[in-house]
Chains A and B, each alone.
Chain A
Amino acid sequence: MKPNKSVGIIGYGAYVPKYRIQNTEIARVWGNDPNLVPIREKSVPGADEDSVTIAIEIARNAIIRAGINPSDLRAVWVGSESKPYAVKPTSTIVAEAIAATPFVNAADWEFACKAGSETIQACIAFVGSGMAKYALGIGVDTAQGAPSDALEYTAAAGGAGYIIGSAKESLAIIEASISYVTDTPDFWRRQHEHYPKHGNRFTGEPSYFKHVLSSSKALMEELGTKPEDYNYAIFHQPNRKFPLEVAKILGFPKEKILDGLVSPYIGNTYAGSALLGLAAVLDKAKEGDKIFCTSYGSGAGSDSFSLEVTDKLAERKGKAPSVKSYIERREEIDYAKYARYRKKIRA
């Protein structure tokens, strides 16, 4: 739950592609009720973007904020379910692009939407054990929902990454982290399949809610903290409804959730989702603020984190683009262009 050596975030970076498709446009194409869509709009990667290019943008932003030499990174780990290569690491491309090679551990992680938060836990352990001075963990996805499937409304692109270092260099100290995992098949994509399948309502109560609530409660119980002790909370956001509902059950008031709730504007960035929400909160937080964050990955599991902001955040947050600036940088496209960018039209 806690490393031997106290660690924290020394730099963070986010990225969201600029294209947006409105939920009403997707509903129009499939003849669905525009009043029953889950979010306003979602981000769409451009024709030349994938999870590698997005991860590189994220890594660069994180390094700028951390102000470190990339060659001091001992790990570059990327969590994603939309790897351009089935076999061949995304992380080596990212590590090379940011000049972190060759004395670096590079690996790709997969656990549906919580692959990104797992890399952060591994970074905590890597730095906390003394094996590394700095380690970079990224959660990124260019998620695909099958045409006309319920997931098509939310499956989006983007992510965030965190450089972990010693507590004394940190802009936010990570007090502790915990995982809660069971074998619960609520969402999956088999080898050679283009789109994932899911168990509809089964993805809710016995999957998302059970794991997010269990992990969150366990960490607060271990730390002896309560929702009142935190200024902000972020929960994995597959839509707008689920994180608000889970916050309500746990006792976090809505105002502690809204700053980190980005899914209504950009959709569900899967492995990037909770981490992007955390980045949006860091953009806003000030010294002494306490932050609670829980991811969720189908299959299924949750990772929870408890953080406290230090005085170093104020000087570093403005060095790279904020999540808000990425959300506001938008160009709306129609379904035809979306189909082209997402390679839904094939010869």
Chain B
Amino acid sequence: MSDNVAVIGVGLSKVGEHWEKSLRSLAIESIWMAFEDSGIDKVDALYVGNMSSGSFVEQEHLGALIADFAGLGPIPAVKVEAACGSGGAAFIEGYIGIKSGMYDYVLVTGVEKMTDVLPSKTTSILANASDRDYEAFHGVSFVALNALVMRRYMHEFNVKREELSIFPVISHKNAPFSKHAMYRKEISLEAVVNSPIIADPLTLMDCAPICDGSASVILCSEKKAREFTDTPILVSGVGLATDTLGVHDRKNITTLSAAVEASKKAYKMAGVTPKDIDIAEIHDAFSIMSALSLEDMGFAKKGQGTKMALEGQHYIGGELPLNLYGGLKARGHPVGATGVYQIGELVSSLRGDGRVDAEIGLAENIGGSGATVSVCVLKRGD
């Protein structure tokens, strides 16, 4: 095994409804930003995180397409797909590429163009992340699956829906600072609770928005990174795990087993415990996912996922600040790109953006209703 892996470049394009931009132009936008940030001008391999370009814009073969249009030359380039967890999974593939010594520099790009189809089609495409034969085929949308889990969680642990609605408030609190966020404004708990019901008990503001976006990061070995900077951000632990695709097949639908497994692996590799994590980017696609994620990654006991949030411990200045660039809810959730946004945002926070003095951070990216979860622990290398 070779040296530690470091992130030396970050490019985060503005998330939004980019009707005037194509998938390839979105991807190239963040790639150029990452190159500029890193100071290098070529890479040895490209991993593209994307969920459904074939359905959203009828374009597959993204590795070659993006490598070509970004002018990267005839490098190895492939797409990595794990539904909404594609970005995190692609990042881990990039990590393996450097860690194994196979490549010197790797580019990981997450990209999704979701707004070229009508919302009914978007809903259908997103349901491809669930079990088609046993879930989507029977008319259960992706939001409905999360609503089922949330209802069960509220029942089992006697949690009120208003308590879970604190998570969108936390993510939005940080959004005005986040230049690439889709919704750069704060929202109130009342606004979340009183927004229209999408799938009871989930309201509109419990759900991350449909949008377009692209994020890129450049990886290399710690040794090479130190040629560019004295303070590289190191990838000290990664974990990727899977669970049953269908919610109904799980022993306990209020536990993200893949998050338990992935976080254990990442903590072990990084030599840390949850107590050592200073900040976290968690997968708040739906309010319920935030609570489950915190519990299953060891930040709270089962059923207690909202406790720290309600105590104000997830705001900046609290014990574990969350989603410092708006999270999926306010930054936006361009599904296959989200995991790379999270890594880029974590790197920005750890480098020091004037808001937190954090040494160790965690990013958690979920695919489907929890069937794929990646957890990455990053730390300052100074």
A residues with CB within 8 A of B: 33, 36, 197, 199-202, 206
Contact = CB atoms under 8 A, between A and B. Distances in A.
B20 interface: yes
B20 A33 contact: no
B17 A201 contact: yes
Interface of B: 17, 19-20, 115, 118-119, 196
A36 B196 contact: yes
A202 B119 CA distance: 11
A210 to B, nearest CB: 10
Contacts of A36: 196
A33 B17 contact: no
12 contacts: A33-B196, A36-B196, A197-B118, A199-B118, A200-B118, A200-B119, A201-B17, A202-B17, A202-B19, A202-B115, A206-B19, A206-B20
Give 9 closest A-B pairs by Cβ, nearest first.
A206-B19, A202-B19, A33-B196, A200-B119, A201-B17, A197-B118, A199-B118, A36-B196, A206-B20
A206 B17 CA distance: 10
Contacts of B115: 202
B22 to A, nearest CB: 15
A315 B20 CA distance: 51
A200 B122 CA distance: 13
Contacts of A33: 196
Contacts of A200: 118-119
Contacts of B118: 197, 199-200
Contacts of A201: 17
Contacts of A197: 118
Contacts of A199: 118
B332 to A, nearest CB: 14
A200 B121 CA distance: 13
A36 B197 CA distance: 12
Nearest to A36: B196
A47 to B, nearest CB: 32
A146 to B, nearest CB: 12
Nearest to A186: B19
A197 B118 CA distance: 9
A179 B196 CA distance: 39
Contacts of B196: 33, 36
Nearest to A198: B118
A313 to B, nearest CB: 43
Contacts of B20: 206
A72 B168 CA distance: 67
A9 B118 CA distance: 42
A201 B114 CA distance: 13
Nearest to B120: A197
Contacts of A206: 19-20
- The interface centre, meaning the residue of B19, B20, B118, B119 with most chain A CB atoms within 10 A of its CB, is B19
Contacts of B119: 200
A206 B116 CA distance: 13
A202 B17 CA distance: 9
Given A200-B118, A200-B119, 10 more contacts: A33-B196, A36-B196, A197-B118, A199-B118, A201-B17, A202-B17, A202-B19, A202-B115, A206-B19, A206-B20
Contacts of A202: 17, 19, 115
A127 B17 CA distance: 45
A275 to B, nearest CB: 29
B114 to A, nearest CB: 12
Nearest to B197: A33
A120 to B, nearest CB: 30
A197 B196 CA distance: 23
A317 B20 CA distance: 46
A201 B122 CA distance: 14
Nearest to B117: A199
A202 B118 CA distance: 10
A204 to B, nearest CB: 10
A222 to B, nearest CB: 27
A36 B119 CA distance: 19
A33 B204 CA distance: 13
A38 to B, nearest CB: 14
B37 to A, nearest CB: 30
Nearest to A204: B17
Nearest to B19: A206
A256 to B, nearest CB: 31
A236 to B, nearest CB: 20
A202 B114 CA distance: 13
A200 B114 CA distance: 14
A241 B381 CA distance: 53
A200 B120 CA distance: 11
B333 to A, nearest CB: 16
A36 B19 CA distance: 26
A200 B123 CA distance: 14
B56 to A, nearest CB: 14
A292 B270 CA distance: 67
A206 B20 CA distance: 9
A214 to B, nearest CB: 15
A276 B17 CA distance: 33
Nearest to A206: B19
B216 to A, nearest CB: 26
A140 to B, nearest CB: 28
A199 B122 CA distance: 12
A199 B116 CA distance: 9
A197 B19 CA distance: 17
A185 to B, nearest CB: 10
A44 B119 CA distance: 28
